[in-house]
Amino acid sequence: MPKALKIPVSARQVATRADPTCLLWEFNPGQLQFLSQVLGVAGIHFTTHLPPAATSLNTVICPARAHLSWLPSPLPIVRADFSPGPPPLPKGSFSLPGNPRQPPGIFQLPSQVGAFLSQVDQYCYPPRGRILNIFGLQPKSGTSTIAFGLANSAKNSVFVDASYPLPDSVSQRYSPGMRKLGFPAISNFSSRDLQEDLLVSRFREILPMVQNTRFLQLQRTDASPISHLFSLLVRAFSLVVIDWGVLDSAEDLNDLSGQTLVVRDYPQPVANRQLLLQLHRQRIPIVSNRVPNRIVPANSGNQRYFVPYYRELKRLQDQGLGTLWPKGLQTRLAQLLRNILAAA
């Protein structure tokens, strides 16, 4: 289990947000052309006119000597200089509340374009996503099905399959997380294909789309790259659903950020009763999967965390027809997601 996944999550609701916009101010036409090309390739929106509502802006990009005291509200400021000589020190700087980073200096363009884009990206996409960690009490308890279904029920979400690390001998061209759910294998993509300096503005477009959600096959090899990857995910998406596979010990939950959900197969007895007791003491929600409808009456209180048995689902998955999930199951998982988020 990775130990470096402490990610700040400030948002209390899963909601989409309009694309961030930068204000380019006091640059000459040649400099504006360079900045527009650089920001356009990075997928970062910008404007050269102050909109009527300045609250629609996320950051201001301006030359080193620009004065912005007239701004109606404080905004993060990124200063860039195109002169060949050393840039002057800024008279003032701004840092995001609660952000441990030091205020940036003046970026020399075009030589420091990478660092410049990284700073703009951090201001435009602060941490905002919620994380759902999904574990199973038994193998083949339907953990991946429920995890994907929850992600597929939300807007601007990503489903991360971290259920097991692939050995080096296995080609990374395949995504078992999708094949086992009845979807075509996604070739030539996994977390190994991501660059460490990837911008959030491009992140959502790079991850492959599966129905209503994005997909990432996580290679759990080193905690440091994983921590960086998760910092990108909570900045890029409103909901990050991670399928961690079978839960071995309650201690595996100690270093995880976000909410945790454990799935058990209703027909199968739980082998580790002590683990089940620990989960109840920690008030971790447990979803009973494949519950016969006749067992749970309509007025039962445990309906909040159960998924009825859908006989045709396994057949559809085995035939590679993952797109034909029963509508009743999709509706039930959407309701389950609402219950989970409301309980936080």
Per-residue pLDDT tens over the stretch 247-289: 988 888 888 889 999 999 998 888 788 898 899 888 899 999 9
Q: Check for a shared fold between 21-124 and 130-342.
A: yes
> How would you classify residue 282: left for phi > 0, otherwise alpha for psi between -120 and 50, otherwise beta?
alpha
- Residue 307: CA atoms inside 13 Å, Cβ hemisphere, count? 31
Residue 241 confidence (pLDDT) above 90: yes
| Cα–Cα distance, 185 to 174 (Å, whole number) | 6
pLDDT of 5:
43
Peptide bond into 110 cis (omega under 30): yes
Rg of the chain over Cα atoms, rounded to whole angstroms, equals 23
Query: Of 85 and 319, which is predicted with more confidence?
Result: 319
Q: How does pLDDT run across 85-141, given as a tens digit for each residue?
A: 554 555 444 444 444 343 457 999 999 999 999 999 999 998 889 999 999 998 889
Q: Which of 5-14, 179-188, 222-231, 297-306 has the least mean pLDDT?
A: 5-14
First to last CA, the chain: 23
- Residue keyed to tokens 């079978």: 246
Cα(81)–Cα(95) distance, rounded to whole angstroms? Answer: 19
Average pLDDT value for the chain: 80
**CATH 3.40.50.2300 matches 21-124:** yes
Give pLDDT tens digits for 199-214. 888 887 788 899 999 9
Q: Which residues of 294-321 are buried (b: 16+ CB within 10 A; e: fewer)?
A: eebeeeeeebebbbbbbeebeebbeeee
Locate the domains of the chain by residue range.
Answer: 21-124, 130-342
Which CATH topology does 130-342 take? Rossmann fold (3.40.50)
